[in-house]
Amino acid sequence: MTQLPEPDAVARELAEFGRRLGMALPALNGAAGTQVGCSAKHAVFSRDKLTLYRFEPLARPSGLRPVLICYALVNRPYMMDLQEDRSLIRALLKAGLDVYLIDWGYPDGADRLLGLDDYINVYLDGCVQQILDAHDIDALNLLGVCQGGTFSLCYAALHPDKVKNLITMVAPVDFKTPENLLSKWVQGIDVDLMIQSGNVQGALLNLAFLSLMPFRLTQQKYVGLVGSAENTPEVENFMRMEKWIFDSPDQAAAAFGEFIRWFYQENRLIRGTLEIGGRKVDLASISQPVLNLYALRDHLVPPSASTALGGCIGSTDYSPVGIDTGHIGMYVSGTGLREVPGKIVDWLHSQAAHE
């Protein structure tokens, strides 16, 4: 006889499951209005749909240069400041850092022609310039997250004089490593045909991300919630994550097409053949100190995609740090929040000591 659960135990478990399920539904309803984002901030600059925010300080200034966080175009940047006990930004503020964050906004049909040149050399550069002018400094600390990390690398290569220290988080550099499932899927996509229909819907990207681990992400996750039905804060945490995951801006057609073709299909960044705005993006010209944080269990940006950076940049001060968590866990998991802010702050202090 197989060692399966005893019928009596199953009866109890199912009865309990049903009871909890009954509780979970109103609990979900109750959590429907759960808010995201927790730290006070104000807009200091805007251009088209972009807004640059500066966070209110939470501690005595550390004396370090301001940090500009460049988030990805995919999903919303409030993931960096989701709630009080799950906020990378809050941890940085508590360490006395002066934190700025780029919110790219929600592109619509009028933005379909925005390309990577616009995003990197106009929008990102505009934000950097704003901060440099406000602080009367020559260069700032740039922290790029995921696709924003790739943008930050491009920016640092194109405008090296404006970046003092560069931090990349779960940022893809080599887009064709064997573990990169997303990359395998997009190789045969006709990008020109795809963007003929305009901006690429965020929902479509979500579908692709969910398809990377469909059983876990579309079934197990929700069944697992039943176990937390009586714990209101956990249900609220779940809803915050759910809101973030499905709050996906559409992608400006031109930029999306360029990103897929140049980075995923042709792997130009690491091959040294990338040009943005008519200028070559040469990773070897990145000579400033670089801290590269990557997640050891990342299913979206495999560690191999990030660690490839080490062999490409010109900097002699390069620190790769693997964190034992997943892609999203870098910003919200216990491990991520225990390790990531401390590593960033310590590293920036050590760099400042050498200035």
Q: Which of 70, 146, 154, 312 is catalytic?
A: 146
Q: Is 353 exposed, middle or buried (0-12, 13-18, 19+ CB in 10 A)?
A: exposed
**Least separation, in Å, of the C-beta of 273 and other proteins?**
22
Query: Is 146 part of the annotated catalytic residue set?
Result: yes
C-alpha pair distances (Å), 321 with each of 243, 268, 324, 347: 29, 24, 10, 11
Other C-beta atoms closer than 10 Å to the C-beta of 7 total 8
286: phi then psi, degrees, rounded to nearest 5: -80, 105
- Please tell me whether residue 134 binds other proteins under the rule CB under 8 A: no
Residue with tokens 């079934």: 219
Residues 6+ apart with CB under 8 A from 134: 44
- Please tell me whether residue 233 binds other proteins under the rule CB under 8 A: no
**Least separation, in Å, of the C-beta of 256 and other proteins?**
13
- Please tell me whether residue 232 binds other proteins under the rule CB under 8 A: no
Nearest alpha-carbon partner for 307 in 199, 185, 168? 168
Binder among 43, 110, 284, 296 for other proteins (CB under 8 A): 110
- Please tell me whether residue 297 binds other proteins under the rule CB under 8 A: no
Q: Residue 107 corresponds to which amino acid?
A: P
Half-sphere exposure at residue 122, Cβ-oriented, CA atoms within 13 angstroms? 13
Nearest alpha-carbon partner for 71 in 37, 94, 40? 37
Binder among 13, 85, 108, 346 for other proteins (CB under 8 A): 13
Nearest alpha-carbon partner for 321 in 310, 312, 334, 333? 310
Question: How many angstroms separate the CA atoms of 295 and 301, rounded?
Answer: 8
Q: Residue 195 corresponds to which amino acid?
A: I
Residue with tokens 């972009």: 50
Question: Residues 182 to 201: which contact other proteins by CB under 8 A?
Answer: 184-190, 193-194, 196-198
**Least separation, in Å, of the C-beta of 269 and other proteins?**
21
**Least separation, in Å, of the C-beta of 111 and other proteins?**
9
Binder among 60, 84, 161, 354 for other proteins (CB under 8 A): 161
Q: Residue 48 corresponds to which amino acid?
A: D
Question: Residues 43 to 72: which contact other proteins by CB under 8 A?
Answer: 47-48
**Least separation, in Å, of the C-beta of 316 and other proteins?**
21
Binder among 96, 126, 314, 322 for other proteins (CB under 8 A): 126
Comparison of 53 and 155: residue with beta carbon closer to other proteins: 155
- Please tell me whether residue 275 binds other proteins under the rule CB under 8 A: no
- Please tell me whether residue 2 binds other proteins under the rule CB under 8 A: yes
DSSP state of 311: G
- Please tell me whether residue 9 binds other proteins under the rule CB under 8 A: yes
- Please tell me whether residue 25 binds other proteins under the rule CB under 8 A: yes
| Residue 246 structure tokens | 């499905």
- Please tell me whether residue 19 binds other proteins under the rule CB under 8 A: yes
Comparison of 285 and 319: residue with beta carbon closer to other proteins: 285
**Least separation, in Å, of the C-beta of 155 and other proteins?**
12
- Please tell me whether residue 38 binds other proteins under the rule CB under 8 A: no
* Residues assigned a catalytic role: 146
